[in-house]
Copies of this chain bind each other. A is one copy, B any other.
């Protein structure tokens, strides 16, 4: 398949969110224009994004809401459930473990891991905190697909290497550090300090 830009994938996620809203409200069709207004983009952009994957609309009418949302779920890989592990049961790891929004969208958090004996053995709203020492064993047994990395920055790269060796191919990183990974592994980094700095820049450089 032709390479799909990151920005396109993000917009697809956004479209799916609006479609779910629409579905809830019992509406059955939607035009690229309505979809665009919701997402702060243009109708041409919406159609172009979808055109990479096929033609799902009806000319003159728009898109069937349930059909399009189904297609988007397939495209995004959300027709299946994904198993997620959280590495580092600290403040941010715990907040994420307890967050319901993920499970609702098909991501089940199966366990958290830590190296602090005080934390190992507890649970976070039903999610067990396990010893990081057993992670290779667990990955083999439970085959989680996605790891969320919430350890201190200096532990992040070694931990990533360890996860990759153990067979993880997708990592969501919260440590504020640039990580190296082999090409078959996808890493996304959420860097909140960087976002704040973007705001600082905007405040400083507006006229």
Interface residues of A (CB under 8 A from B): 1, 4, 6, 9-10, 12-14, 16-18, 38-40, 75-78, 82, 84, 91-92, 94-96, 98-99, 101-102, 105-107, 145-146, 169-172, 176-178, 180, 184, 186, 188, 190-206
Q: Give every chain B residue within 8 A of A96 (Cβ-Cβ).
A: 192
User: A191 to B99, alpha carbons, bound, how many Å?
Assistant: 13
Asked whether B193 lies within 8 Å of A102 as measured between CB atoms, the reply is: yes
Asked whether A9 lies within 8 Å of B198 as measured between CB atoms, the reply is: yes
Asked whether B17 lies within 8 Å of A176 as measured between CB atoms, the reply is: yes
| Copy total for this chain | 2
Q: Give every chain B residue within 8 A of A177 (Cβ-Cβ).
A: 17
User: A180 to B40, alpha carbons, bound, how many Å?
Assistant: 9
Whether A204 touches B77, Cβ cut-off 8 Å, given contacts A170-B199, A172-B192, A176-B17, is: yes
User: A119 to B94, alpha carbons, bound, how many Å?
Assistant: 19
Known: A39-B178, A96-B192, A170-B199. 15 other contacts (CB 8 A): A1-B205, A4-B201, A10-B198, A13-B193, A75-B204, A77-B200, A77-B205, A78-B200, A82-B203, A105-B193, A146-B200, A170-B200, A172-B195, A186-B198, A188-B199
Chain B, Cβ-Cβ closest to A177:
B17
Chain B, Cβ-Cβ closest to A196:
B107
Give the residue of B77, B92, B190 whose beta carbon is less than 8 angstroms from that of A195.
B190
Whether A200 touches B76, Cβ cut-off 8 Å, given contacts A14-B194, A194-B13, is: yes
Minimum CB–CB distance from A66 to chain B (whole Å) comes to 19
Whether A201 touches B75, Cβ cut-off 8 Å, given contacts A184-B206, A206-B184, is: yes
